[in-house]
A and B are shown apart, each in its own frame.
Chain A
């Protein structure tokens, strides 16, 4: 079985995060995990080799910048996507592009 693409999503709005995860996980080739804080994002990043990091709503600019830099340092090849529509307006194209239409 082909390894699933690991996607990490950070968002402090729990219902929106749940919607995003539900939509992402409709793709059987993807495995999306959600976190609500930079601390959780870093903890998960130490445990899992993520390929995509979606930055959702609720962090400050400084938090976004810092967590993106720290996750990137752990996983230099990770694709960080700050603009993906959010919620059920999820823009799959941004993820397809990042993954090379995988």
Chain B
């Protein structure tokens, strides 16, 4: 029988540093909730808003797969591998931190905030050579279809990471339904509602709610309003 966990938007940890407003689905920085540490290999899901012209100064990471999805605005990235890039709305960026990487992230626009999701996944291989990639998220062939934006396979659609994880984005019109099949046994899926309202196997979810489901082969999402969802299909055991 399917196991589930519901994390409503309002139950998330909140950090307000003035220039940075962040909602943490899982324990992060000064937000610590022993019952909200991870969903399998998915360790961090931060919903960040950075004020105009502000950002994160140079800081390091190691042994973590770090994914950013720009929701509004442009994020400016520079790193110790020599990458310098702008992540625009509708793009996804990935870094495999591996043996160590330094980077900065700033809001390119001086006047408007940038909004993005910052997601960390535990890698299945440690101490890899650090790598960076960024792609534009493709539009689906037909309305109300999911689009794969991340996988473990370099040849597959979207970016890739060192983990048996698959991410899909879906823009769903009110009344539409989409089925999702979990990719492999012992994986679970975490559904994050970016906008709108949906039902997952009958569970109502509002904007910025999160819902984990595992011990099942799949589930059905029904849009109760125009909606955008992110599905993160990750191993439940490390």
Query: Which A residues are closer than 8 A to B by beta carbons?
Result: 11-13, 15-16, 19, 56-61, 64, 82-83, 85-89, 91-94, 96-97, 101
User: C-beta contact mask, B79-121 vs A, less than 8 Å → 1, else 0?
Assistant: 0000000000000000001111010000000000000000010
Contact of B59 (CB < 8 Å), options: A13, A87, A91, A92: A87
Q: Are B63 and A83 in contact (CB under 8 A)?
A: yes
CB contact between A89 and one of B32, B59, B98, B127 (< 8 Å): that residue: B59
Category for how many chain B residues contact A: 20 to 34
A94 and B29 CA atoms in complex are apart in Å by 11
B126–A82 CB distance below 8 A: yes
| B residues less than 8 Å from A89 (CB atoms) | 59-61, 64, 66, 120
Q: Is the CB of B99 within 8 A of A58?
A: yes
Asked if A101 contacts B34 (CB within 8 A), the reply is: yes
Residue of B with least CB distance to A83:
B122
Which residues of the partner chain B approach A56 to less than 8 Å between Cβ atoms?
62-63
**Which of chain A's residues has its CB closest to B33's CB?**
A93
Q: Is there contact, CB below 8 Å, between A59 and B127?
A: yes
The distance in angstroms between the C-alpha atoms of A91 and B31, with both chains bound, is 10
CB-CB nearest in chain A for B56: A88
Q: Which residues of B contact A92 (CB under 8 A)?
A: 27, 29-30, 32
Closest 3 CB pairs of A and B: A87-B60, A86-B62, A93-B27
A61 touches B126 (CB 8 A): yes
Give the shortest distance, in Å, between B145 (CB) and chain A (any CB): 34
Beta-carbon contact of B63 and A15 below 8 Å: no
A9 to B28, CA, bound (A): 20
